[in-house]
Amino acid sequence: MPEGDTVWLAAERMRTALAGATLRRGEFRLPQLATVDLTGATVTEVVPRGKHLLVRLADGRTLRTHFRMDGSWHIYRSGTRWQGGPAHDVRMVLATDEWECVGYRLHDVELVPTAEEGRLVGHLGPDILGPDWDLEEALRRLRSHPADQVGVAILDQRNVAGIGNLYKVESLFLLGVNPWARVADLDARLQPLIERAQRLMRANLHHPEQNTTGDRRRGRDHWVFGRQGKPCFRCGTAILLGEQGPPLQDRVTWWCPRCQAARSPIDPQARTGEPGRPQPVTVYR
């Protein structure tokens, strides 16, 4: 699943290509929207909302897309050969006289009245990269579920919109927080944790590389993400990989068992499927 900074960068590039322009081609390659043609519509703006991308049109409609695991928008100069994958992976084409925005493997593609955007993204918490970011509201939402594991809670887009797995594990490591700690266990460390995730994401806004260490050498761009079995850069302990979250929604989690040792009697190798019911989980060493 892409991080919020990936969606932000995609929106920024599409805004440059489309905002203020009239579409000479607005094509859907999806059964549910196959008869819809956006040709002639004028794009007013392209904005990210958490991990959702919203293309707003002057006629009062909004196009919402989501990347999920494998979706992407590619932008080409008009007439340039597309290189984002086979033709059957193309879900949308938005083209102006100068640019062609091609959506590959897009998910959750919907076209709704702009006034009804709320039914698509209204459930989201404050957008950590948005102009209306509200830290206090994000903390209130997180603290309203004190028994939730923090590694699950900060990925819940209803609490904070935009944080993905990479920035989750990297921020938890930098703050020395065990992913299985309860939100209530963090006390004063909850706000610095969210602020650290935001700083890491903002540092990577204007380029596709997602470096969290500041070290540009190969293999040293992340503290724990993707480093299962490798030595921790701080203490040398082997980084662990496990699964965390309720069934069918679990995500892999990397952490250092020494730098992020549990500070309360919790099992760092357990996950919560239901409140108060820890379940065993495989930890890959």
- List residues with catalytic annotation: 2-3, 51, 251
- Report how far residue 27's alpha carbon sits from residue 95's, in angstroms, rounded to the nearest whole number: 9
Q: Which residues are paired to 77 by β-bridges?
A: 99
- Report how far residue 123's alpha carbon sits from residue 100's, in angstroms, rounded to the nearest whole number: 31
Whether residue 162 contacts residue 3, with contact meaning beta carbons closer than 8 Å, is answered with yes
Signed CA dihedral, 125, 128, 133, 139: sign only? positive
Whether residue 8 contacts residue 48, with contact meaning beta carbons closer than 8 Å, is answered with yes
- Do you know the residue count of the chain? 285
Please give the structure tokens belonging to residue 83. 């290189």
Residue 166 CA: distances (Å) to CA of 26, 185, 224, 257: 34, 22, 9, 18
- Report how far residue 204's alpha carbon sits from residue 75's, in angstroms, rounded to the nearest whole number: 20
Angle, vertex CA 96, rays to CA 91 and CA 97, nearest 5: 140
Residue recorded with tokens 């995730």: 197
Q: Is residue 58 left, alpha or beta, with left meaning phi > 0 and alpha meaning psi from -120 to 50?
A: alpha
- Please state whether beta strands 43-49 and 61-66 pair in parallel, antiparallel, or not at all (unpaired): unpaired
